[in-house]
C-alpha cells in the first residue's frame, strides 16, 4: 500500500463501506442460509482438516526444500542434477495433474502388487489422504527448494570463511552460520508460499479427502444451491488468508533484521 494508504473515514470510503454492508445484508436476507446450522459442525471439522493439511505439508515441504536447495547450490553434479530436475518437473506441471498421477496412477499400480497389498502400509495406501499430503508436500518443496537454492547461494562467502577460520567443522559452520542465514534470507517468501499452499489445499477434495471445500461441495449436492455455499467458502478462505498474512507479519517483526 505504501504512503498513499489513507484513512477509512474518508467520505467516499464510508459510502463504499455502506454499499458493501448493504450487499452483505441483502445476501443474508434474500439468499437461503437455512442449511447452515445443519452443516456448521462438519464445516468446522473441514476447516480443521484444511488447516492441518496446510501445516503438515508446509512443514514437511520446507524440511524437504532445505536439502533440495543445498544440493542445487553446493552439491556435486550427481546431487544437483536430480534436485534441479525435481524442482523443474514440480514447477512445470499442474498440481492437479500431480495429485491425480499419484492417486489414480500410483494407487492403481499398488493394487497390482501383492507385496504391497499384504504389507502393513496397505490400509493407509488405500485411503486418499496420504496421496494428498504427498502431492502438497512435494509441491511446496519444489517451489521453496528453488527459493532455498538462491538463499544458500546468496549467503556471503566471507561469513562461511570466517566460520571455518574460527575452527568450526563444516557441519558446525553449516548448522550455526550457513543454514540460519539462508533461512533468514528465505523468510520473506515464506508468507507468500504459505498463502499459495492454502489456496492449493482444496484440490485434495478431487481425490475424496474431506476438507472444507469437500463439505461445501456436499452442501451444494444436497441443497441444489449454487451460490450461497460457494460465497461462504470464499469468505472462509479470505478469513484464513487474512489470519495467515497477519501471523506472518507478526513473525517477521519478531525476527531481527540487520540495520533495521
Is 147 one of the binding residues for other proteins (CB under 8 A)?
no
Is 80 one of the binding residues for other proteins (CB under 8 A)?
no
- Residue 162 DSSP one-character state: H
Stretch that binds other proteins, among 12-20, 55-63, 76-84, 156-164 (CB under 8 A): 12-20
Distance from C-alpha of 44 to C-alpha of 216, rounded to nearest angstrom: 11
> Which residues, in sequence order, are CB contacts of 77 under 8 Å at separation 6+?
none
Residue whose CB is less far from other proteins, 70 or 87: 87
Q: What is the CA radius of gyration of the chain?
A: 23
Distance from C-alpha of 79 to C-alpha of 68, rounded to nearest angstrom: 9
Distance from C-alpha of 13 to C-alpha of 222, rounded to nearest angstrom: 39
Count how many residues are written for the chain: 260
Stretch that binds other proteins, among 38-46, 67-75, 105-113, 120-128 (CB under 8 A): 105-113
Reference 209, options 64, 37, 56, 59; nearest CA is 56
**Cβ 256 to other proteins, closest distance in Å?**
27
**Cβ 136 to other proteins, closest distance in Å?**
13
- Evaluated on CA atoms 153, 159, 161, 167, the torsion sign reads negative
Residue 214 is inside which H or E element, if any?
Answer: helix 212-223
For residues 223 to 242, the per-residue mask of contacts with other proteins, x marking binding by CB under 8 A and - elsewhere, is ---xx--xx-xx--xx--xx
Tell me if 100 sits within 8 A of 183, measured CB to CB.
no
**Cβ 175 to other proteins, closest distance in Å?**
27
Residue whose CB is less far from other proteins, 8 or 120: 8
Q: How many residues bind other proteins (CB under 8 A)?
A: 43
Out of 33, 48, 59, 113, the residue judged to bind other proteins by CB under 8 A: 113
Q: Which residues bind other proteins (CB under 8 A)?
A: 10, 12-13, 16, 88-89, 91-98, 100-101, 104-106, 108-109, 112-114, 195, 198-203, 206, 213, 226-227, 230-231, 233-234, 237-238, 241-242
Amino acid at each position: 500500500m505504501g504512503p498513499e494508504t489513507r484513512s477509512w473515514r474518508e467520505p467516499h470510503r464510508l459510502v463504499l463501506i455502506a454499499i458493501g454492508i448493504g450487499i452483505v445484508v441483502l445476501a443474508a436476507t434474500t439468499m437461503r442460509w437455512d442449511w447452515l446450522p445443519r452443516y456448521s459442525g462438519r464445516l468446522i471439522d473441514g476447516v480443521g482438516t484444511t488447516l492441518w493439511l496446510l501445516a503438515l505439508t508446509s512443514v514437511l515441504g520446507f524440511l524437504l526444500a532445505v536439502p533440495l536447495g543445498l544440493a542445487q547450490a553446493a552439491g556435486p553434479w550427481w546431487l544437483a542434477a536430480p534436485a534441479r530436475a525435481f524442482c523443474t518437473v514440480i514447477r512445470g506441471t499442474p498440481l492437479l495433474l500431480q495429485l491425480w498421477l499419484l492417486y489414480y496412477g500410483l494407487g492403481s499400480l499398488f493394487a497390482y502388487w501383492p507385496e504391497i497389498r499384504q504389507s502393513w502400509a496397505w490400509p493407509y495406501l488405500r485411503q486418499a489422504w496420504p496421496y494428498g499430503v504427498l502431492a502438497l508436500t512435494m509441491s511446496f518443496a519444489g517451489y521453496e527448494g528453488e527459493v532455498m537454492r538462491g538463499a544458500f547461494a546468496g549467503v556471503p562467502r566471507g561469513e562461511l570463511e570466517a566460520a571455518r577460520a574460527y575452527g568450526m567443522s563444516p557441519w558446525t559452520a553449516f548448522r550455526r552460520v550457513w543454514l540460519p542465514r539462508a533461512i533468514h534470507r528465505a523468510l520473506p517468501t515464506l508468507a507468500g508460499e504459505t498463502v499459495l499452499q492454502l489456496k492449493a489445499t482444496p484440490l485434495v477434495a478431487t481425490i475424496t479427502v474431506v476438507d472444507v471445500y469437500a463439505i461445501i461441495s456436499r452442501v451444494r449436492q444436497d441443497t441444489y444451491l449454487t451460490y450461497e455455499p460457494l460465497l461462504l467458502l470464499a469468505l472462509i478462505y479470505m478469513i484464513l488468508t487474512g489470519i495467515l498474512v497477519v501471523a506472518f507479519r507478526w513473525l517477521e517483526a519478531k525476527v531481527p533484521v540487520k540495520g533495521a
